[in-house]
Structure 1
């Protein structure tokens, strides 16, 4: 049994290598599916034989018996491998956990997704008091409110109030994409992009743009998203 456990990863790899991409599976013919199943059984029999020392008819009988003892053996290969683990190692519980990529949004984090949303407004004219494209443009705090609102985050309407939301970030060195960058004592605000830059609606006659930002120009940095 110890030797069998040592070969479980090999069994799982063998089954995984037989799994076709989802699109290919959806268009595969019944003949191709049957051929894949036959190949899978043969490969499993080979691995099982090397573990148990059983060859020929004995190996085939053992393979057939084991597979038939697993309910739903026609399910996906990951599920089948999990049942094989349980069958080979009674009492061991579920198959060993595999690494799973953390859930992300857009470019990797909620903050990155906020930046990508803000980029959609690049080139939109500055309009004082503007908080929607229906008004022909956006002002600095209107841009911030609109972008964060699209991610389910409610913030006040004007920069002087927006500068008090969330938690303070000590410096640009610690800032993350999506943080709010407040300038001129709360009279201007933008969204931190990363690499010492922010996206903002600067002033009348200009459009939403990405520009460099320095600690010397910053009044406060606020974090409102992860």
Structure 2
């Protein structure tokens, strides 16, 4: 499954979760089994977690999901020049440092030191989810998410966000791989099965919601 598709699935399940929560609030007095409702909520939460940890399916899917999961907690934080406080704002290198700290890797604080970490990737065509994209002569760093997507703390006045990757081999200073190669791939033999499984999970969420709405009618 591509990263774009995975993000779409995440939004879809979040929407279902939101609708389910609304239905529960509106029908709190209905004679519905409490244990059944609680079980559904737990299942949906588990589904969302499983989605981020297996976004692409196969051998590389787990690594892709871990990167995406680590990134999500920082989305929406403001860019702050020199910022290193996840509660207030981060700059590009601090964002990368914090994400990789959450993944269990220690990186230097500034881009010019970070760009000597890990191993070099020859071209963007060979980049994998989690690779670091350094541009502007090492003055900026983003995390590649695969499938033409990247995430970064961009500049003052903007927030950390997933975006289309504008980086090319021509404007990149270097690409560095921190995650082990054997676990950082963006695809795997289980990709098709993973896609089918996620579709089933979304369908199950919808069915559970419909059943709840029907029982409350």
Q: Compute the TM-score of the two structures, normalised by the length of structure 1.
A: 0.51
1:216 to 170, 179, 185: 170
Residue 181 of structure 1 is matched in structure 2 by 133
In structure 1, runs of 5+ residues without a counterpart are 1-104
Equivalent-residue separation in structure 2 for 1:215 and 1:196 (angstroms): 13
Equivalent-residue separation in structure 1 for 2:78 and 2:124 (angstroms): 27
Higher relative contact order by CA 8 Å / sep ≥ 6: 1 or 2? 2
In structure 2, the CA distance between the partners of 1:216 and 1:200, relative to structure 1 (3 Å rule), is same
The yes-or-no answer on 1:114 pairing with 2:67 is yes
Task: Write out per-residue CA displacement over residues 22-46 of structure 1, whole angstroms, 9 at most, x where no aligned residue.
Answer: xxxxxxxxxxxxxxxxxxxxxxxxx
Moved over 4 A (4+): none
1:141 to 66, 88, 93: 93
Equivalent-residue separation in structure 2 for 1:179 and 1:132 (angstroms): 23
How many residues are paired up? 121
Residue 123 of structure 2 is matched in structure 1 by 171
Equivalent-residue separation in structure 2 for 1:140 and 1:201 (angstroms): 5
Contact conserved, 1:111 with 1:179, CA < 8 A, in 2?
Answer: no
After TM superposition, the structure 1 = structure 2 runs for residues 1-226 of structure 1, keeping only pairs within 5 Å, are 106-107=53-54, 108-134=61-87, 136-211=88-163, 212-213=165-166, 214-226=168-180
The structure whose Rg is larger is 1
Equivalent-residue separation in structure 2 for 1:217 and 1:159 (angstroms): 16
Q: CA deviation at 1:111?
A: 4.4
In structure 2, runs of 5+ residues without a counterpart are 1-51, 55-60, 181-217
Cα RMSD (Å): 1.5
Q: CA deviation at 1:131?
A: 1.9
Contact conserved, 1:191 with 1:198, CA < 8 A, in 2?
Answer: yes
Contact conserved, 2:53 with 2:64, CA < 8 A, in 1?
Answer: no
Task: Write out per-residue CA displacement over residues 141-160 of structure 1, whole angstroms, 9 at most, x where no aligned residue.
Answer: 00000000011100000011
Equivalent-residue separation in structure 1 for 2:72 and 2:123 (angstroms): 23
Equivalent-residue separation in structure 1 for 2:64 and 2:179 (angstroms): 6
Contact conserved, 1:115 with 1:191, CA < 8 A, in 2?
Answer: no
Q: CA deviation at 1:215?
A: 2.2
Q: Compute the TM-score of the two structures, normalised by the length of structure 2.
A: 0.53
Contact conserved, 1:112 with 1:177, CA < 8 A, in 2?
Answer: no
Equivalent-residue separation in structure 1 for 2:89 and 2:177 (angstroms): 25
SS at match of 1:126: coil
